[in-house]
Amino acid sequence: MPPVTAQELPLNTYVVLLGLGLFILILSLIFCCFFISKLRHQARNVRAGYKMVVFKDEAVDEHVVTCAVCLEDFRMSDELGLLACKHAFHKRCLLDWLEIRCSCPMCNIPISGDTAENQPANLLDELM
């Protein structure tokens, strides 16, 4: 049997190869978008001056189990924002607080990061 050349291949072989190529392309795009999103989220946390952690009961002291902003206890697998001063708050509570003031809700230390340097210390300073 003579060797098969590219001109003699049936059409369905080309369709299979094209489909496989498109599948790999789409899979690569999804993979890239996922990691770009993850890196963008991580960079936003660094700029905001806090680190996102997941609450684990054994990893926290006994007296650090309540969010000082909303006054609710932390539950297992809650997303927390941990500031440089080691105070922890619910991530959503911390984001709401940082929209108004760029300091720790408990010790009033300014939050380090790009947002703290570029924005006024609080909302009242911005309005004046």
Question: What are the structural domain ranges in the chain?
Answer: 13-48
Residue partners of 55: CB distance under 8 A and separation at least 6: 74, 75, 76, 77, 78, 79, 80, 88
pLDDT at 64: 64
Residue 116: pLDDT band with limits 50, 70, 90: very low
Instruction: Output the pTM of the full model.
Output: 0.49
Please say whether the beta carbons of 91 and 75 come within 8 A: no
Q: What is the mean pLDDT of the chain?
A: 76
Which range, 20-29, 91-100, 101-110, is most confident?
A: 20-29
Instruction: Give the integer Cα–Cα distance in Å for 101 and 123.
Output: 6
Q: Name the more confident of 103 and 30.
A: 30
Half-sphere exposure of 29 (CA within 13 A, CB side): 6
Q: What percent of the chain stands above pLDDT 90?
A: 12
Q: How confident is the model at residue 101 (pLDDT cuts 50, 70, 90)?
A: confident
Residue 49 near residue 83, CB atoms below 8 Å: yes
